[in-house]
Structure 1
Amino acid sequence: MSPRKSRLAVSAFFLVHGINLASWASRIPDIKERMDINDAEMGTLLLVMPISSILGLVSAGWILRNFDNKTPLITGMIAQCISLAAIGMSDNLYTLSAALFFLALSFRITGIAMNTQAVILQKSYAKPINGSFHAMWSFGGIMGVGLTSLLLALKVTILPHLIGVAIMLAIISIAAYPYLPTGDRAEEGSKIKLGKPDKSLFYLGVLILLASFCEGGMFDWSGVYFKDIVNVELYTAGYFTFMICMTLSRIMLDKFIIIRMKKEHVYLISSLMITGGILLATSLPYLIPAMAGFSIVGMGTAVVIPTTFLLAGDSKKYSAGMAISIISTYSVVGMLFGPPLIGFISEAFGLKISFLFFAVMGLLILPVSRLYFRSVKNEA
């Protein structure tokens, strides 16, 4: 299989993954309204997802040792599509919770598989390409929220929306599957090693947790923020600008950022942009400044996760797949525990105050990144 065809196939799965997540997340305000639940109850419902996703870590080592990554990737992606359709069909909290449980589990499996394939493909290219995969994921998010915005304007309900998207994405995944890379099963380094923790991998995990907290929270609560705080009818506006700026930053990651900037500076700038963007959006909760703030946050969060995955792929203790699986656990905690926490804080102190926690998480990226690079120098 040519590297070019494999790259296109992996890119297609990143695209589908992004559309799936955006399609569900951009409909959260509708789900809240349909189920008649408050922010705290929504936060409780979202707790189903991290619990499910963490269960995937138990089987990660076994999957990496026994299968090429293309097998769990297509299996997980089809499960994602079925779960997305099930969300659209859910008419009570029990069926919705079950659908979210399986959606999160499939997100976990596909996330590990496709990021492992991306890191391994990167090693066969002389130029940086990893950022392009994450740009495709973000572009998928733009497509997902753009489609939702269009369907909202056309008064299309959640049921035909999510079922239609699920069918379309399943077809794309099946078509791309034959062109995925093969022979990338990890022969060693796919077992968790007991003993002294890998300090540098721990710091990478914390970095991805902080970025994922911001990213996941923005996915799930930006629509609610624009609907309840900014008070605009087209509440996907903030999510849309966030995703556009995230995508643009990830396109620049390969062509400019990785080549011309030190990774220490990447984390510094990202930290300041996340913090500054949130402060702008919360201090001036009006359409233009809020959209500008969300845009800055999108650019800030964009490069942290792909850069951190690349650094994890160089682990000397674990295979690329297992290292990614380990730090993906931190990503899951941030991406999925963050939104419920925001719901609980919002119910107690208000949604605008709860968004300040994103600023705190963004600010912490700076000192943790310094600790990581210091640990790498000490190990050298």
Structure 2
Amino acid sequence: MNQPEVSNRTKRMAVAAFFFIAGLCFASWASRIPDIKTKFQFNDAELGALLLALPVGSMLCLPFSGWLVNKFVSRRIVTIAAASYPCILVLIGFAGSVWQLAPAALLFGFLGNLCNISVNTQAVGVESLYGRSIMASFHGIWSFAGFAGGAIGSVMVSESIAPQWHFVVICSCSLVMVFLFRRFILRKDASHPNQPFFARPDGMLLKLGMIAFSCMVCEGSMFDWSGVYFQKVVEAPVALTTLGYTAFMATMAGGRFVGDKIVTRFGKQKVLQASGMVIAAGLLTAVVFPTIIAATAGFLLVGFGVSSVIPLVYSAAGKSKTLSPGAALTAVSSIGFLGFLLGPPIIGFIAQASSLRWSLTLIAALGFCTTVLASVIDFRDDRA
């Protein structure tokens, strides 16, 4: 059956729906982690071991995701991944033992990465139809879905609804969205029929990967250490310890919805250069002036600084002339994901050896590497 003749706007909305599904499922899982900890009576170390299953699953998927997307096209893979992802969420909710929970969490991480690569491949294709930058808005939808998932989770917790029934609701809504929108996503990707299973990234992709690494070190650090920084260094009241994290998330989400217009006006290279400077300025503000107002302002800057980096890097990688979009995105995201994993422990080690403020100073330097690396990349079709 032929794909219905639909407008580019409809295709864009359909791909955005899949970004929303991915963000909603992940946020729903995150919102019930405390309940899962209580259910299985995990201590902190045991919970940490469980949470490690997600990034391990993601890493296990990395060698396969680009090959699968190129072999079977992103339309098929994103449909399968987006339908399976919320179903595994239900399995996590109904797990009755650690031996059921751990494999489900591992598979949740695996499918999350497969969904990420395939949906971003779709986004690259839609962006090429528009002929201008729209990638940041897709990632903004993911962030918005994260807020929505967190809000729904809070309501479920306040109403004492068990995680498994919360996840059933999320799964049902997600499957309906997959059914409604799968017909309108792109049918074909850029053709690379001889793409090998393991493809070596070229110099351009390596540089993009290093930008992703630098940015995701900062993101991971904000996710895991912003609350601790406000608690131990800023010495904020208990009710305000999450203020820095909230500020970071708010400007990261907001920045993604305005990022495309900024890129269209100034170009990828200038936006990436400015992003690195804003990240560094924000972190250094929080380090030099560890007060509630200054640190919050600093974290607001960090959120805005990181907001457009990953969307722009993915957009540029998807236009690779040497690898298929799926393989190129896999190569870049693999390098970037290492930063997301390594950033939080690096902060912990340095904080233990010296102080948390010195840790954030190092992260500020890594953030500035975005500016340096963006300066040595030749972005063709810079405003596209």
TM-score, length-scaled by structure 2? 0.81
Mean Cα deviation higher: 202-211 or 156-165? 156-165
Question: Residues 26 and 220 of structure 1 are in contact (CA less than 8 Å); yes or no, is this contact kept in structure 2?
Answer: no
Which residue does the alignment assign to 1:250? 256
1:308, distance to aligned residue in structure 2 (A): 0.8
2:216 aligned to 205, 212, 218, which one?
212
Amino acid across the alignment from 1:69: S
Farther off after superposition, 259-268 or 296-305: 259-268
Partner letter of residue 136 of structure 1? Answer: I
Contact 1:122 1:128 (C-alpha < 8 Å) held by counterparts:
yes
Matching residue within 295, 316, 324 for 1:319: 324
User: Is the alpha carbon distance of 1:373 and 1:181 closer, same or farther for their aligned partners in structure 2, counting shifts above 3 Å?
Assistant: closer
Corresponding residue number in structure 2 for 1:190: 195
Measured in 2, the distance between the counterparts of 1:161 and 1:348 equals 42
Which whole-Å CA distance do the structure 2 matches of 1:106 and 1:282 have between them? 37
What is the Cα deviation at residue 10 of structure 1? 0.2
> Which among 9, 15, 19 is matched to residue 10 of structure 1?
15
Contact 1:66–1:185 (CA under 8 A) maintained in structure 2: no
Shift of 1:71: 1.5
Within a 5 Å distance, the mapping from 1:1-380 to structure 2 comes to 1-2=5-6, 3-28=8-33, 35-38=41-44, 44-89=49-94, 94-151=99-156, 158-184=163-189, 186-188=191-193, 190-191=195-196, 198-222=202-226, 230-233=236-239, 237-255=243-261, 257-281=262-286, 288-339=293-344, 355=360, 358-373=363-378
Greater RCO structure (CA 8 Å; 6+ sep)? 1
Distance 1:83 1:264, change over 3 A: same
* Structure 2 Cα separation of the partners of residues 29 and 223 of structure 1: 16
CA distance in 1, matches of 2:345, 2:50: 8
Q: Separation in 1 of the partners of 2:350 and 2:91?
A: 29
Output the CA distance in 2 between the equivalents of 1:216 and 1:104. 16
Question: Comparing 18-27 with 340-349, which one deviates more in the overlay?
Answer: 340-349
In 1: Cα distance, 2:159 partner to 2:348 partner: 29
Q: TM-score, normalization: structure 1?
A: 0.82
Unaligned runs of 5+ in 1: none
Separation (CA, whole Å) in 2 of partners of 1:266 and 1:360 = 18
**Amino acid in structure 1 at the alignment position of 2:327:** M
C-alpha distance in 2 between matches for 1:370 and 1:207: 11
In structure 1, C-alpha distance between the alignment counterparts of 2:172 and 2:351, rounded to whole Å: 35
- Once superposed, what is the RMSD of the aligned Cα atoms? 3.5
Asked if the contact 1:16–1:169 (Cα under 8 Å) also holds between the matched residues in 2, the reply is yes
Structure 1 residues 234-243 or 133-142, which shifts more?
A: 234-243
Measured in 2, the distance between the counterparts of 1:191 and 1:59 equals 11
Q: Secondary structure at the match of 2:144?
A: helix
Q: 1:283 to 1:27 in 2, by over 3 A?
A: farther
Identity of aligned residues (%): 34
Distance 1:249 1:37 in 2: 37
Q: Kindly state the Cα deviation for residue 313 of structure 1 after the two structures are TM-superposed.
A: 2.2
Q: Distance in 2 between matches of 1:145 and 1:225?
A: 22
Distance of aligned partners of 1:304 and 1:172 in 2 relative to their CA distance in 1, 3 Å threshold: same
Would you say the 8 A contact 2:67–2:197 is kept in 1?
no
**How many residues are paired up?**
372
Structure 2 residue matching 1:372: 3-state secondary structure: coil
Q: Which moved more, 1:182-191 or 1:278-287?
A: 278-287
Q: In the TM superposition, what is the alpha-carbon distance from 1:237 to its structure 2 partner?
A: 4.7
Once structures 1 and 2 are overlaid, which stretch shifts more, 221-230 or 326-335? 221-230
Distance 1:140 1:339, change over 3 A: farther
Q: Which moved more, 1:164-173 or 1:343-352?
A: 343-352
2:273 and 2:375 in contact (8 A); partners too: no
Unaligned runs of 5+ in 2: none
Q: Per-residue deviation at 1:209? A: 1.7
Which whole-Å CA distance do the structure 1 matches of 2:12 and 2:130 have between them?
10
Query: Once the 2 structures are TM-superposed, how far is the Cα of residue 21 of structure 1 from its aligned partner?
Result: 2.5
Q: 1:150 to 1:270 in 2, by over 3 A?
A: farther
For the Cα contact (< 8 Å) 2:66–2:328, is it kept in 1? no
Instruction: Check 1:49–1:343 CA distance in 2 against 1; reply closer, same or farther (3 A cut).
Output: farther
Question: In structure 2, do the counterparts of structure 1 residues 215 and 193 end up closer, same or farther at CA, with 3 Å as the change threshold?
Answer: same
Q: Contact 1:149–1:234 (CA<8 Å) still a contact in 2?
A: no
CA distance in 2, matches of 1:373, 1:209: 19
CA contact (8 A) 1:271 1:366 kept: yes
> Could you tell me whether the CA contact under 8 Å between 1:19 and 1:140 is conserved in 2?
yes
CA distance 1:60–1:194, shift in 2 (3 Å)? closer
**1:191 shift after superposition:** 2.3
